[in-house]
Structure 1
Amino acid sequence: MTRLRLLILFLLALACGASNASAAGGAEPAYPKGGKWDLQKDQHAHFPLPLPAYKDPAHEAYDGEGLGLWDKIKKRAVAQHHFNLIATIIFACAILHTFLSGVFKEMAHLHEARHLKKIEENKRRAVDKPEDDAKDDVSFRAWFFHTLGEVEVVFGMWVIALAGAVVWCHGIAPGHGVMHGISEVQHYLGHDVNYTEPLFVVVIMAIAATRPIIRLSESCVNKVAQLFGGTPAAWWFSTLTLTPLLGSFITEPAAMTIAALLLAKRFYSLNPNPVFAYATIGLLFVNVSVGGTLTHFAAPPVLMVAERWDWGIGFMMTQFGWKAVLGILLSNIIYFSIFRKQFSSLENPVATHDPNQPPRWEEREDPIPPVITAIHLVFLGWTVFMAHYPPLFLGGFLILLGFTEATGHHQNDVKMRTPLLVGCFLAGLVVHGGCQGWWIELLLTAFDNEWVLMIGATILTAFNDNAAVTYLAAQAPNLADAAKYAVVAGAVTGGGLTVIANAPNPAGQAILGRFFKGGVSPAKLALAALAPTVIVGAAYMLL
Structure 2
Amino acid sequence: MNPTTIELIGAILFAIAVIHTFSTKYFERLAHSQPNHSGLWHLLGEVEAVFGFWAMVLVVFMFFIIGQTSAIEYVDTRNYTEPLFVFAIMVIAASKPILVLAGRIVRVVASVIPIDRQVAYFFTTLSIVPLLGSFITEPAAMTLAAFLLRDRFYTQGISNKLMYGTLGVLFVNISIGGTLTPFAAPPVLMVAAKWGFDMQFMLSTFGWKAAIAVFVNAIALTFLFAKELTAMKKPAENGPKEDMPVWVIATHLLFLVGVVVFAHHAAMFMGLFLFFLGYTTAYSRYQDRLILKEGLMVAFFLAGLVVLGGMQAWWLQDTLKGMSPTALYYGATALTAITDNAALTYLGSLVEGVDDQFKYALVAGAVTGGGLTVIANAPNPAGFAILQKYFNDGSINAGKLFLAALGPTLVAVLAFQLL
Q: Which amino acid aligns with 2:329?
A: M
2:46 is matched with which residue? 150
Alignment of 1:75-86 (within 5 A): 75-76=1-2, 79-80=3-4, 82-86=5-9
Hey, what does 2:368 align to over in structure 1? 493
Query: Take 2:407 and 2:63, find their aligned partners in 1: how far apart are those partners?
Result: 44
Q: Deviations 1:157-179 (Å, cap 9, x if unpaired)? A: 11232123323442xxxxxxxxx
Q: Decide which of 409, 412, 433 is 2:285's aligned counterpart.
A: 409
Indicate whether 1:93 and 2:19 are aligned.
no
The alpha carbon displacement at 1:348 in A equals: 6.1
* Aligned equivalents of 2:202, 2:18: Cα separation in 1: 32
Q: In the alignment, what sits opposite 1:70?
A: none
**1:312 match:** 198
Please state if 1:429 is matched with 2:305. yes
What is the one-letter code of the residue matched to 2:351? A
Structure 2 match to 1:356:
none
Map 1:62-211; keep pairs closer than 5 Å. Answer: 75-76=1-2, 79-80=3-4, 82-112=5-35, 140-170=36-66, 181-190=67-76, 192-211=77-96
| Matching of residue 386 in structure 1 with residue 257 in structure 2 | no
Q: Which residue of 2 aligns with 1:326?
A: 212
For residues 285-311 of structure 1, what are the alpha-carbon distances to aligned partners after superposition, in whole Å with 9 as ceiling and x for unaligned?
000000100000000000000000011
Q: 2:143 aligns to what?
A: 257
8 Å CA contact retained: 1:232, 1:267:
no
Match of 2:249 among 360, 373, 388: 373
| Alignment-mate amino acid for residue 58 of structure 2 | L
The one of 465, 470, 475 equivalent to 2:340 is 465
* Matching residue within 391, 411, 416 for 1:540: 416
Say whether 1:516 aligns with 2:412: no
Q: Which amino acid aligns with 2:267?
A: P
Once the two structures are aligned, what percentage of the paired residues are identical? 46
* Residue 226 of structure 2: aligned partner: 340
Correspondence 1:418 to 2:294: yes
For 1:226, the equivalent position in structure 2 comes to 111
CA distance in 1, matches of 2:359, 2:41: 43
Give 1:232 shift. 2.5
Mapped to 2, the partners of 1:334 and 1:432 lie a distance apart of 37
Whether the 8 Å CA contact 1:87–1:165 is kept in 2: the answer is: no
Code of the residue aligned with 1:143 in structure 2: it is G
Tell me the distance in 2 between the aligned counterparts of 1:397 and 1:439. Answer: 37
Find the partner of 1:452 among 327, 342, 350.
327
Alignment partners' CA distance in 2, 1:208 and 1:288: 15
1:124 maps to none
1:331/1:532 contact within 8 Å kept: yes
- Structure 2 CA distance, aligned partners of 1:111 and 1:169? 34
Task: Tell whether the 8 Å contact from 1:231 to 1:347 is kept in structure 2 after alignment.
Answer: no
Structure 1: 5+ residue stretches without partners: 1-74, 113-139, 171-180, 352-358
Segments of structure 2 that go 5 or more residues without pairing to the other structure are: none
Moved runs in structure 1, 4+ residues, more than 6 A? Answer: none
1:344/1:461 CA distance change after superposition, 3 Å: same
**Contact kept? 1:222, 1:230, Cα under 8 Å:** no
Paired residues in the alignment total: 416
Report the counterpart of residue 44 of structure 1 in structure 2. Answer: none
Q: How much is the aligned-residue C-alpha RMSD, in angstroms?
A: 1.7
- Is the contact made by 2:116 and 2:230 (CA closer than 8 Å) also made in structure 1? no
CA shift, 1:372, in A, is 1.2
1:400 aligns with 2:276: yes
Cross-structure match for 2:101: 216
Output the CA distance in 2 between the equivalents of 1:534 and 1:364: 38
DSSP 3-state at the match of 1:295: coil
For residue 512 of structure 1, what is the amino acid of its counterpart? Answer: L
Instruction: Find the aligned partners of 1:249 and 1:109 in 2 and give their Cα distance.
Output: 44
Give me the TM-score of the superposition, normalised by structure 2. 0.96
Amino acid across the alignment from 1:531: G
Distance 1:541 1:160 in 2: 40
2 CA distance for matches of 1:348 and 1:258?
20
Q: Does 1:292 align with 2:182?
A: no
Contact (CA 8 Å) 1:212, 1:373: kept in 2 or not? yes
The residue number in structure 1 matching 2:315 is 439
Q: In structure 2, what is the equivalent of residue 238 of structure 1?
A: 124
Which letter does structure 2 place at the counterpart of 1:200? F
What letter matches 1:277 in structure 2? M
- The separation in 2 between residues aligned to 1:230 and 1:535, in whole angstroms, is 25
State whether structure 2 residue 141 is matched by structure 1 residue 266: no
SS in 1 for 2:392: coil
Residue 398 of structure 1: CA displacement? 1.4
State which structure, 1 or 2, has the greater radius of gyration over its C-alpha atoms.
1
> Secondary structure at 2:320's aligned position in 1?
helix
User: Highest relative contact order (Cα 8 Å, sep 6+), 1 or 2?
Assistant: 2
Give 3-state SS (helix, strand or coil) of 2:73's partner: helix
Q: Is the 8 A contact 1:221 1:238 kept in 2?
A: yes
Displacement of 1:106: 2.3
Q: Are the counterparts in 1 of residues 118 and 234 from structure 2 also a CA contact under 8 Å?
A: no
Q: 115, 121, 134: which is aligned to 1:248? A: 134
Query: Distance between the aligned counterparts of 2:234 and 2:200, measured in 1?
Result: 45
Distance 2:298 2:134 in 1: 21
Please give the alpha-carbon distance, in whole angstroms, between the structure 2 residues aligned to 1:162 and 1:398.
31
User: Are the counterparts in 1 of residues 337 and 370 from structure 2 also a CA contact under 8 Å?
Assistant: yes
- Counterpart amino acid of 1:529? A
TM-score, normalisation: structure 1: 0.74
What amino acid maps onto 1:495 in structure 2?
A: G
Q: What amino acid is aligned across from residue 426 of structure 1 in structure 2? A: L
